[in-house]
Amino acid sequence: MTEPTRIRAVVKGDTAEVRIRLVHDMETGRRTGADGKVVPAWFVQRVSVTHRGQTVFSAQCGPTVSRNPQFAFRFSGAKAGESVAVSWVDSRGESRRDEAAIIPG
């Protein structure tokens, strides 16, 4: 299992600003290892962020996205003390889900 997703969600008024950082190696399938063999592709394919059961952000990624990708976005209708949940699935079928509280800004 990978390390937890780093999530920071701050609300000002009713708008939340969310920053997330996925901890993932994101191999392209084009790099060769020390043994001279190609390292197989392994990357996050889908990212989804939900708030109160509603999707507020989603992305489809490919092998060209950098290691430990970061995303930032805003959405309205948030309140301090509520939470956002981040989930992702990679090309090997591995997945992770993490949650964080929205803090006042």
**What is the DSSP secondary-structure string of 30-51?**
--B-TTSSBPPPB-EEEEEEEE
**Beta strands, E only, 2-82:** 6-12, 15-21, 44-51, 54-60, 70-76
Q: Where are the domains of the chain?
A: 6-104
Q: Does 82 score more than 70 pLDDT?
A: yes
Q: Which residues contact 39 (CB under 8 A, 6 or more apart)?
A: 27, 29, 31, 32, 33
Query: What is the pTM assigned to this prediction?
Result: 0.93
Q: What is the pLDDT of residue 2?
A: 76
- Using one digit for the tens of pLDDT, what is the confidence trace for 30-42? 999 999 999 999 9
From 72, 66, 103, select the one nearest 86 (Cα to Cα). Answer: 72
- Using one digit for the tens of pLDDT, what is the confidence trace for 47-58? 999 999 999 999
- Using one digit for the tens of pLDDT, what is the confidence trace for 23-32? 999 999 999 9
Q: Does 1 score more than 70 pLDDT?
A: no
6-104 is a CATH 2.60.40.10 domain:
yes
